[in-house]
A and B are shown apart, each in its own frame.
Chain A
Amino acid sequence: EVQLVQSGTDVKKPGESLKISCKGSPYSFTNHWIGWVRQMPGKGLEWMGIIYPGDSDTRYSPSFQGQVTISADRSIDTAYLQWTSLKASDSATYYCVRRNSGNFPFDVWGQGTMVTVSS
């Protein structure tokens, strides 16, 4: 069964950095886009950005451009979402998602990583 397995819950203080991960298996990781979706507590879904691990082509939502960095290490089939300086407003659940090449939606979702930023 194809799955995306994300890193666990994180609790951080404002100003700290964070990198969460998403490992895909068992499929051709380099031939599928991996995206990230934010869900703030009690709210809807927001697309943040997406990366093609095959060539590291990365696109960001204008709302998240400059706020986060998306990367991937195709040698270990893992994508990452990172912050250099967290804010309380970054508290949310973050999902990684898979997208087939071509015009397809997100067919596989990770289990979500809950991030809490609090002093």
Chain B
Amino acid sequence: EIVLTQSPGTLSLSPGERATLSCRASQGVSSSFLAWYQQKPGQAPRLLIYGASTRATGIPDRFSGSGSGTDFTLTISRLEPEDFAVYYCQQYGSSFTFGPGTKVDIK
């Protein structure tokens, strides 16, 4: 099973700042089958990025994904108030596993 590790556990930033979230896999993720989800309190998760770097429908371009192999990054270029949430990475190339999440909260 591919294990995903996310860092940091919590990221405290101010609106307008840049957020960089990391996701590391225990082994290579085939064909960059890596996704990112956003979850706000009391809501279901929402797909942001798939294929490591493709934005899902309706996702603003301040969200971008990069990486390959075992190291992936989600970047939020300028944090908006609605972006403070928990972010999960997921690999879907070999069954499915989620990372433990990174909470982005207001500094």
Residues of A near any B CB (own CB < 8 A) = 35, 44-47, 50, 59, 61-62, 95, 99, 103-107, 109-112
Contacts and interface: CB of A to CB of B under 8 A. Distances in A.
29 contacts: A35-B96, A44-B98, A44-B100, A44-B101, A45-B45, A45-B90, A45-B98, A46-B98, A47-B95, A61-B95, A62-B1, A95-B44, A99-B92, A103-B31, A103-B33, A103-B92, A103-B93, A104-B50, A105-B33, A105-B47, A105-B90, A106-B35, A106-B90, A107-B56, A109-B46, A109-B47, A110-B44, A111-B44, A112-B44
Most chain B beta-carbon neighbours within 10 Å: one of A35, A45, A61, A104: A45
Interface on chain A toward B: helix, strand, loop, or mixed SS? strand
A15 B93 CA distance: 36
Contacts, number: 54
Given A45-B101, A106-B37, A109-B44, 18 more contacts: A44-B98, A45-B37, A45-B45, A45-B88, A47-B95, A47-B96, A50-B96, A59-B95, A61-B96, A95-B45, A103-B92, A104-B92, A105-B33, A105-B35, A105-B50, A106-B35, A110-B44, A111-B44
Contact of B92 (A59, A62, A105): A105
A43 to B, nearest CB: 9
A91 to B, nearest CB: 17
B47 A106 contact: yes
Interface of B: 1, 31, 33, 35, 37, 39, 44-47, 50, 56, 88, 90, 92-93, 95-101
Contacts of B90: 45, 105-106
Contacts of B92: 99, 103-106
A23 B7 CA distance: 35
